[in-house]
A and B are shown apart, each in its own frame.
Chain A
Amino acid sequence: MDFESIPWMLILPLVVIQFILMLVAIIDLIRVSNTNGPKWLWALIIVLGNLIGPIIYFIIGRRNE
């Protein structure tokens, strides 16, 4: 599949939403004082974890107590 034939109008919202989700997770990670496990590891998971990384951070990494 060449570059021209990719339907960017359909893909773009996905990329934007994923980026916002990652950004929100990173901002949250910077603001909270404590996470379950080391912070740098969560930063890696959020950035490299693609779609699922930020979600895993929010449900497991974030200490809700």
Chain B
Amino acid sequence: MVSNFSILFQKEWRENVRNFKILWIPLVFLLFGITEPLTNYYLPQILNAVGNMPEGTVFPFPEFTPEQIVMSTVSQYQFIGMLVITLGFAGIISRERKNGTATFLYVRPISYTSYVYSKLSIMCILVVGSVILGLLANLYYTNVLFGAVDVGAFVGFLGTYIVWLLFVVSIVLFTSAAFSTAIASIISLALVLFVQFIDALLGAYWTISPWKIPMYAGYVLNGSVDKKPFIWSLIITLLAIVLLIFGAVYFAKRNISKTKI
């Protein structure tokens, strides 16, 4: 079982080196982590240089706190980052079903659990690793340009945001196990981006929801989090992650046995 997992994991690793995901996904998160503080800091100069403003125009630019800069980076991640994760990994299981790679599972004594876990691990390493890298670069730039962020609060914020990332990873894994690549991308996009939008729109009526985790991460960073709904949201989200992963194993097994060999 353990050796099965390590063989499958090595296969996943090689594949993601070959298709450059190991390179471009961290670079994208790094890029947005750096651009956000830079553009916010130099916005007045940028506008002056390109905006054709009359001499002496003064804008009342808001003074950003370091925490606001980190959170505006997170809102970039919440859109472009989530797009990259959902569309980039939508085929992670469904693709192998389509091109026949998955049928090797059918003829060899390999457990579906280690198959799904190998996918889960590579996704976690890539997604969580990239976001940590990007946010650390962001922390450095924010520190230089806007001032220090409390380290304890930042660690709490990062931990909370990682729970959200694991939720997104398990959604993508589940949909890819259950549906074809095209349908999986649509459903996971809807579950990650659209539901998040709805939650932001109507979410004043409830306080406990996995889609509120990024918002709570921001509150943790500001040191103003309301403990009770926050803890309950975390528990619900972790539970959902476990269910989605079990679901992914179940559907991976069921769908492979349905494919023709």
Complex interface: chain B residues within 8 A of A65 (CB): 91, 95, 98-99, 181
In contact, B83 and A59 (Cβ under 8 angstroms): yes
CB–CB A10/B38 < 8 A: yes
| Residues of chain B in range 9-57 having any CB-CB distance to chain A below 8 Å | 19-20, 23-24, 27-28, 30-31, 34-35, 38, 45, 48-49
A28→B84 contact, CB < 8 A: no
Which single member of A20, A24, A51, A54 contacts B35 (CB below 8 Å)? A51
Q: In whole angstroms, what is the CA distance A24 to B84 when docked?
A: 16
CB <8 Å contact, B30 and A17: yes
Quick check: is B87 within 8 A (CB to CB) of the other chain? yes
With A21-B27, A24-B23, A58-B24: A14-B34 Cβ-Cβ less than 8 Å: yes
- CB–CB A54/B24 < 8 A: yes
B contact patch SS? helix
B216 at the A/B interface (Cβ < 8 Å)?
A: no
Judge whether B84 and A10 touch: CB under 8 Å.
no
- In the complex the two chains form, is B27's CB within 8 Å of A24's CB? yes
CA gap between A21 and B30 in the complex, in Å: 11
- A41 on the interface (CB 8 Å rule)? no
Number of B interface residues in the complex (CB < 8 A) = 29
Q: Does any Cβ of A come within 8 Å of B77's Cβ?
A: no
Question: Measured between alpha carbons, how far is A58 from B48 in the docked complex, in Å?
Answer: 34
- State A13–B42 Cα separation when bound (angstroms): 16
Residues of A within 8 A of B (CB): 1, 10-11, 13-14, 17-18, 20-21, 24-25, 27-28, 51, 54-55, 58-60, 62, 64-65
- A-B pairs, 6 with minimum CB distance: A59-B87, A64-B91, A21-B27, A1-B45, A14-B34, A28-B20
24 contacting pairs across A/B (C-beta < 8 A): A1-B48, A10-B144, A10-B145, A11-B38, A13-B137, A14-B35, A14-B38, A20-B23, A21-B27, A21-B31, A24-B23, A25-B24, A51-B31, A54-B24, A55-B28, A55-B80, A55-B84, A58-B24, A58-B88, A59-B83, A60-B87, A64-B91, A65-B98, A65-B99
